[in-house]
A and B are shown apart, each in its own frame.
Chain A
Amino acid sequence: GEDVEQSLFLSVREGDSSVINCTYTDSSSTYLYWYKQEPGAGLQLLTYIFSNMDMKQDQRLTVLLNKKDKHLSLRIADTQTGDSAIYFCADLSGAGSYQLTFGKGTKLSVIP
């Protein structure tokens, strides 16, 4: 089946930029998503990018997509302690099923 890989942990200092990376294997991906999950809570959609784009910026968030290498990244500028959470990368297949394939999540820890 399709696979989405993420590093499990990332630690940054408050005020620095965070970059969370994700790789995927699905050649027919149409959309790629970033979700944030705080402890004990559901998933919050942060942003998504259509597969024919290579960059999307939304306030402090920048998504970069390298479709050739199947590499997606999420950059959080001026990281704050409130950004500490688990970030999931997810891939929407173009096969028509509309099922998301998730990575295991990257736990971002922000050091004050």
Chain B
Amino acid sequence: GAVVSQHPSRVICKSGTSVKIECRSLDFQATTMFWYRQFPKQSLMLMATSNEGSKATYEQGVEKDKFLINHASLTLSTLTVTSAHPEDSSFYICSARGAQGSGNTIYFGEGSWLTVV
């Protein structure tokens, strides 16, 4: 079946630095990708929706200048956490939706653990 790959799966960065997380759809073209954040023992919180070639739409309360999302191709979206702080430590998960006709199936990446020290 379709696979969405995230990289890196775990990353530790120093406070004040930036870190980039990649989300790739491996065997289908993802017209829309979503970025979620998950706090321990909680559900997923949608951060933003990105459509290929256009600016991401951010959910209320999510700082667009801090969480930069780029969806430059139909198979790749990136999330860059800029000037990371310890409170940004979390599990970030992307998901991807194929083009019309693929059954509205939405697949998730394996997630990326970010620890800011």
Contacts and interface: CB of A to CB of B under 8 A. Distances in A.
B9 to A, nearest CB: 9
B49 interface: yes
Given A40-B113, A42-B93, A43-B93, A35 B108 contact: yes
A102 B65 CA distance: 26
B108 A43 contact: yes
A100 interface: yes
Chain B interface, DSSP helix/strand/loop, else mixed? strand
A42 B107 CA distance: 10
B95 to A, nearest CB: 7
Interface residues of B, number: 20
Interface residues of A, number: 21
Contacts of A105: 43
A33 interface: yes
A106 to B, nearest CB: 11
Interface in A75-112: 88, 92, 97-100, 102-105
For A30, A41, A98, the residue with the greatest tally of chain B CB atoms inside 10 Å of its CB is A98
Contact of B110 (A31, A42, A92, A99): A42
B6 A42 contact: yes
A102 to B, nearest CB: 5
A92 B107 contact: no
A92 B110 CA distance: 21
Interface string B79-102: 000000000000001010100000
Interface of A: 30-31, 33, 35, 40-45, 48, 88, 92, 97-100, 102-105
